[in-house]
Amino acid sequence: MPKSSVAPRASQECSKRSIAEYLLRSTSTVLEAIFQESGNVGASIGLLEDGNYTFHDIGTRALDEDQPPTKNSRYLISSMTKPFMGLAISILVADGRHGICFETPVKDILPELEGRTALLSDQMEPELTIGHLLAHRSEFLRYTNLWESPEGHIPWTTIDPVLSLLRHMPRSSQYTEKTFDNSRNYSNECFALLAEVVERTARMPWGEFVTERILQPLHLTSTFTDVPQDHLQDRNSYVAYHSVSVDGLMAGGHQLWQRNCMTRPKAEPLLIEPSQVSCVNRGSKPSPLGAAAGMVSSTKDLLKFFGYLLEVFGSLQGQRYDLGHKISEVERGMITWWRHILSHTQSENSIYAGGWNTTNISWNPCDLKHRWPGSDGDNARRLQSVIRSSHNDGALTANRLWYFFQQLSIGGGVGVGKKLALYHGGNMVGATSSCFLIPSLKQAVVVLCNTRGFYLDAANIACMFLADALARKATDPRALQTLCANLDTVVRHIKGSYIRDLALYETRLEREYSQLARAEDFAGCVGRFRLVPGVFAEIQGHAGGSLRFQLYGKGFEYPLRARHDCCAVSSEVTMTFAMPMRDLVPLGVGGNNRLNIRDFELVFRGRRGSGRPFEEFVWVFDRNGVYEDGDESAFAWKRVA
């Protein structure tokens, strides 16, 4: 990224325009370089400042055309869907006729989950409630978080397999009473379950409920809970989906980083098929899976939505609301929602509530218990990594002069309500998104991107930068140059961390695993296997002779690789469906949750004699303490006829 191009103009120039407009104009070259060097094709940025909207668009709607996106262009917003679900639940709670509240046990609505618990810092085994799902405070394992496959396949079209998995999964030994101090157990399944709660309570599909009770009353005309696959090809309304090639990064990027060379590797964008997550809500029985990450929207609509939220927050803080007066249903839901969020953020240990990541600013970087405010997805893990380590030259440390949200005085008094910030990111095949709200300042930032870059989540880092600069009212050219220079440092460290992780991953994969396992050599592994009722996996020989693994029995076929020390006639064989990143990333996946090869190991066992088929295989995703007493038997996929 080039050095800041902020011109040394007098700061009085800002008075002719809003601060938001000045910031976007002054930093546009810097922001565009961040997106382009990371392989991103196009992005739309929106800033809300005291009721005023400012927009800026970068790049093009698709790699194969030259038309720029606009404030009305529709993007997959991925996990930024979750705040909409938080409001949907709050509307049901505020309604009063359905008999549910945030403390309602989930089993009262979903009896299939009888006996499932939540784990909190002050109580070991409380009943799992709706509020726990909204805060990702459950003991559900991240065992099912690979439900989006390469090429955007969604193997589940109903909630039934999810319920079956959660009903039969063993308790996790990693979740002790201190698990959720400054933490969460992020699970897309929590929000799929919330969608099922909406459907069984309101007796209508969750998508219809969100559309009729939120989107239509608020006139969010470019926001949808589902989109037909063929509509996604309409470039006048929808942006395309993209990933990147990492060949150039793999070839010499790590060495360049180690030498602190000014020549920086560039990720090259690739046009890919749209994710199916926006389509799974269609059909005779719409799927709750899209409620976790499947909505599409525009920067204009999202800022409008956030503007309503901020207006209600301001009025609520001023105690101007009387719930006895006639107010709209969605407004009543927002009041209920805000009160729920504020009650949770009174605790310093709470970092997620009501469908939002929550934090208080300014931030003290010496307190590494808390994640960097605004950082989400892959960026959050990489920032924490470079803060704590020294493998990069000049690693980020707490005594650096400035990094996002440090030494930030937002004024207007003190207290949780005055310092509260909400944020959320989104990462799915072909798209990234990020938003940041500071309610007391009536400010919001939205960044939507039509590429999942992996090398850098540019949407997230740009959102953090703009939210910080807007809160600081950074209009002095020299101060803005300093902020841009520090942004460059952060970006370089995130990129360097990813290049290093790629190098370590590829080295281990090559060292421990052979080339593709051949079906004729490992015929005993071929077959259909069941984990729990309704959840299957298929292992078959490919036309080229290699073994292929279909997780959950449909969708993408992963090639299997046998460990170097495995013998085809052994009583136990270990394989992995981890793939080289140069093959995987162009298919749309390759984030941090794909960089641990052991998470993708299949251990075939139970062979009754040499040459006989294996009776089962064990696969345990996220192995850090996910089974009781080291017993993996509950994770065995049994052969079926």
**If you average pLDDT over residues 137-149, what whole number do you get?**
65
The rounded distance, in Å, linking the Cα atoms of 134 and 425 is 16
CA separation, residue 57 to residues 3, 25, 383 (Å): 21, 11, 26
Read off the pLDDT of residues 228-274 as tens digits, 9 standing for 90 and up.
777 877 888 999 999 998 887 766 554 544 444 444 667 889 999 88
Per-residue pLDDT at 273: 86
Read off the pLDDT of residues 34-67 as tens digits, 9 standing for 90 and up.
999 889 999 999 999 988 999 999 999 999 999 9
Element (H, E) at 146: none
Query: Tokens standing for 90?
Result: 């709050």
pLDDT for 519 beyond 80: yes
With a pLDDT cut of 90, the percent of the chain lying above it is 42
Per-residue pLDDT at 576: 94
Per-residue pLDDT at 3: 39
List, in order, residues 6 or more apart from 67 with CB less than 8 Å away: 60, 61, 235
> Of 190, 207, 203, nearest to 88 (Cα)?
207
- Residue 577 binned pLDDT confidence (cut-offs 50, 70, 90): very high
Mean pLDDT estimate for the chain: 81
pLDDT for 616 beyond 80: yes
pLDDT for 546 beyond 50: yes
pLDDT for 482 beyond 90: no
Per-residue pLDDT at 544: 78
**If you average pLDDT over residues 94-98, what whole number do you get?**
90
Per-residue pLDDT at 596: 84
The rounded distance, in Å, linking the Cα atoms of 200 and 112 is 13
Element (H, E) at 444: strand 443-449
Per-residue pLDDT at 259: 46
The rounded distance, in Å, linking the Cα atoms of 272 and 63 is 10
pLDDT for 156 beyond 80: no
pLDDT for 2 beyond 50: no
The secondary structure of residue 149, as a DSSP letter, is P
- Distance between first and last Cα of the chain: 57
Per-residue pLDDT at 492: 82
Helices then strands, counting H and E runs in the chain, come out as 15, 21
Per-residue pLDDT at 417: 38
Query: Tokens standing for 464?
Result: 């953090």
Query: Tokens standing for 341?
Result: 């969020």
Per-residue pLDDT at 180: 54
What 3-state class would DSSP assign to 184? coil
Strand order in the sheet with 352-353: 52-59, 42-49, 443-449, 431-438, 420-428, 356-360, 352-353
With a pLDDT cut of 70, the percent of the chain lying above it is 78
**If you average pLDDT over residues 22-39, what whole number do you get?**
92
Per-residue pLDDT at 393: 45
List, in order, residues 6 or more apart from 79 with CB less than 8 Å away: 188, 292, 293, 424, 425, 426, 427, 428, 433
Which of 61-65, 392-396, 469-473, 596-600 tops mean pLDDT?
61-65
Task: Decide: 115 and 128 in contact? Cβ < 8 Å.
Answer: no
Cβ-count burial 501-525 (b if 16+ within 10 Å, e if not): bbbebbeebeebbeebbbbebbebb
Report, in angstroms and rounded to the nearest whole number, the Rg of the chain calculated over CA atoms: 24
Which residues are bridge partners to 591 per DSSP? none
**If you average pLDDT over residues 148-156, what whole number do you get?**
79
Task: Decide: 79 and 424 in contact? Cβ < 8 Å.
Answer: yes
The rounded distance, in Å, linking the Cα atoms of 41 and 37 is 10
Per-residue pLDDT at 214: 97
Neighbours of 461 (CB within 10 A): 25
Per-residue pLDDT at 118: 63
pTM score, whole prediction? 0.90
Which of 116-130, 261-275, 384-398, 566-580 tops mean pLDDT?
566-580
The rounded distance, in Å, linking the Cα atoms of 421 and 464 is 12
The rounded distance, in Å, linking the Cα atoms of 405 and 374 is 9
